[in-house]
Homo-oligomer: A and B are copies of this chain.
Amino acid sequence: MLGNSLFYKHTFAFISVSLKGISQVILIENVVSGAIILLAISITSVPLGVIALLSSMIGTLIGRLGGADEAMLKQGLLGYNSVLTGLALFLFLTGSTHWIFSLVGAAIAAILTASFMHFMKNSGIPILTLPFIILTWFTLLVSYRFTAFHLSDSLVPQSLMQWELDITGEVDFTQGVFNGIGQVFFLDYTISGILLFIAVFWAEWRLGLAAFIGNAVALLTSLALGGEYSLIFLGLYGYNAILTNIAVSVVFNSKRHPFSFITGGIAACMTVPLAASINTWLLPYGLPALTMPFVLSTWVFLSARKILPRV
């Protein structure tokens, strides 16, 4: 009986940490938020929800087996890159075996997370989602060389020489508001977006507000600069701004200077041209920008703050 209750306790603790791993994707450490996010993913696609939970578990497990620091593990920090990698590989690879690559990818993401943590330790700057980005880019390109990998038709290499910009498309602000946050988890379903906002507000109202403002800033910036409507209202300029504003204005902003909230907005704004630029760099390879704009913009502002403390 005692053994049984211990088993339940451990299982419960493990699931808690795995849900935190899911919430850490949006820089939140909160079991309930993690559960709401898992629901948001699952109502878009149940298999995707399963992959998200399993990926987080795998990441955490690798961390535990590898002997990671307990405090770090409990925060879900070994899980979020695995979650994103699992989701991305499940969606961007096809064929009957893509779920295997997806879960193996989740395992490698945990190793890569540890690796990047070591390399960036001295800088005092968080690794964010870089392990997921690098791993996903590299894995997707593998498909050109091995028959076992099947790339989704949505990823097509293009030449910059033949590129023509056509920004026309449908205007839909409801979509624009809720798809931005949805795209953090590759979702473009309005109800999922609403659930994700609830998950963020549940954790802390400041985070929810930062998410909302980040998205609004991105919508306005991308419209003002004349971006493609099809991308803007799918939320593809929004998700990086949301993450960046949460990171720069709230999560990694211990001093809370009054000016630092403006900095967060500027950093969110910067993800828009960054996304455009990264998409251009990746055009010949047909790769998606993923959360690279968020990582770069957040790194720039967090590190600049070490030299310019009032930023």
Interface residues, chain A, CB within 8 Å of chain B?
62-63, 65-69, 108, 111-112, 114-119, 122-123, 125, 138-139, 141-142, 144-149, 156-161, 163, 165, 167, 222, 224-228, 270, 273-274, 276-277, 279-281, 283-286, 299-301, 303-304, 306-311
**Chain B residues with CB below 8 A from A146, complex form:** 165, 222, 225-227, 273, 276
A57 CB, min distance to chain B CBs, angstroms: 17
**Chain B residues with CB below 8 A from A226, complex form:** 146-148
A297 CB, min distance to chain B CBs, angstroms: 10
Check B114 against A66 for contact (C-beta < 8 Å): no
**Chain B residues with CB below 8 A from A225, complex form:** 142, 146-149
**Chain B residues with CB below 8 A from A299, complex form:** 115
A220 CB, min distance to chain B CBs, angstroms: 13
Could you tell me the distance between the alpha carbons of A285 and B278 in the complex, rounded to whole angstroms?
A: 12
Q: Say yes or no: A285-B118 contact (C-beta < 8 A), given A112-B304, A274-B138.
A: no
**Chain B residues with CB below 8 A from A147, complex form:** 165, 167, 225-226
**Chain B residues with CB below 8 A from A280, complex form:** 141-142, 144-145, 285
Check A309 against B66 for contact (C-beta < 8 Å): yes
Could you tell me the distance between the alpha carbons of A111 and B63 in the complex, rounded to whole angstroms?
A: 35
Q: Say yes or no: A308-B277 contact (C-beta < 8 A), given A119-B123, A147-B167.
A: no
